[in-house]
Structure 1
């Protein structure tokens, strides 16, 4: 497919050869946000549109707010890799991938320009409305691929997106002292923590043991929802923020109603 009509009207079409059919005729019900993590935006765009790379995304957002569409939304872009969320392991087949030009962790986590964030908000709102994507299904690459991926990073302004109607967010509880759980611990409180993270959607086995995987998932959660400190330790701030996110979900409230 060398050309197509943009699904998002403001986008300019810049085709990538890297895409396929969505498995089982799936329609997108999630949006996955990435940063490019490369030295330059054009270098990243070239990588996403070169057959050799075997990677792509549906959209690419420059620092100045320009939006390119690389793959039609009806097609399966290759952006999430090995990932999982809420029991789904083929994230590419059920999602729209958005690459945001940013140096990321390799470049010291520079801020995302306001023009770029405004463009991401408009794009997410448009995709979300057209595909009826729920707020809690707007996710970070690090959410669906903990440990393996860390983008779009702890500096990404999720709260600002939420204020403009994109994504799921509650004000994080302040980082403070008190009881915490960390690598190597085990018992019922760890099982409860794992259960909450799993219910929210993270791919985590409920074992009651605070293992390396649990630490990585806690870090991913913190990176998105409690970015003031990303250390993989489940302190009061982390657990309270997670609990309030869960209780704000209709499906959680109905399942746990007395």
Structure 2
């Protein structure tokens, strides 16, 4: 089932894709991390770059389709989420224009978020993707990536039930030992091979105002409540 035509404003077909090997179960959100939308599109369409995404959202809200959803775009790279290592095969990738941490990271525009919401809702409806499976690039590649970053408005997506809501724990939770915490983090979905990077990625998504890379009672409580929230959603 194709995306609704009114959600896409123009096409910029990229040659950088191949066949999927898995069903679509995830959406991965990125920032472009380049100085302009034109530069980002040029790179995503350059065969030598060997990168692409299904969609790009410019700062004025223009939605550009680069790769058909039926195909495997090359946006996640070396990545992992809840046992899946071929994230490109299992996901739809959306690039959101933003210079990123290297070129002057800034809040995403209202127009971008207002374009993302209906696009994402349409994708999730057609592919039966759960809010827990809308994730950031840093979630699937914590040791390599920081996008879409701590300024991305995940709370807005949660209000539309397009992502898990950020819990507001009223108490601290210290796990019996660090191993128990990391097992819970892995259960949520994260690759824990680089433990500090996994914690920073978790914080960037769920506690963006304080990123330390260290376990504390607040992120312990956040993790516990997120697991409950996700598992309860599965049962409804």
1:76 to 72, 81, 86: 72
CA distance in 2, matches of 1:83, 1:171: 25
Matched, 1:14 2:2: no
Matched, 1:233 2:214: yes
Q: TM-score, normalised by structure 1?
A: 0.85
1:144 to 125, 140, 143: 140
CA distance in 1, matches of 2:188, 2:142: 14
Matched, 1:201 2:197: no
Find the residue that maps to 2:115 and give its secondary structure. Answer: helix
Find the residue that maps to 1:227 and give its secondary structure. Answer: coil
Matched-pair contact (CA < 8 Å) for 1:85–1:202: yes
CA distance in 2, matches of 1:199, 1:132: 21
By how many angstroms is 1:106 displaced? 1.2
CA distance in 2, matches of 1:230, 1:52: 35
- Which structure 2 residue ranges, 5 or more long, are not aligned? none
Cα RMSD between the aligned structures? 2.2
CA distance in 2, matches of 1:253, 1:71: 30
Find the residue that maps to 2:48 and give its secondary structure. Answer: helix
CA distance in 2, matches of 1:66, 1:235: 41
Q: Match for residue 210 of structure 1?
A: none
Trace 1:7-156 onto structure 2 (pairs within 5 A). 7-9=3-5, 10-11=7-8, 12-23=10-21, 26-156=22-152
Matched-pair contact (CA < 8 Å) for 2:167–2:225: no
Matched-pair contact (CA < 8 Å) for 1:170–1:244: no
Displacement over 4 Å in runs of 4+: 178-181, 251-254
1:55-83 alpha-carbon deviations (Å, 9 max, x no partner): 00000000111101100001000000000
Q: How many residues align?
A: 233
CA distance in 2, matches of 1:200, 1:41: 33
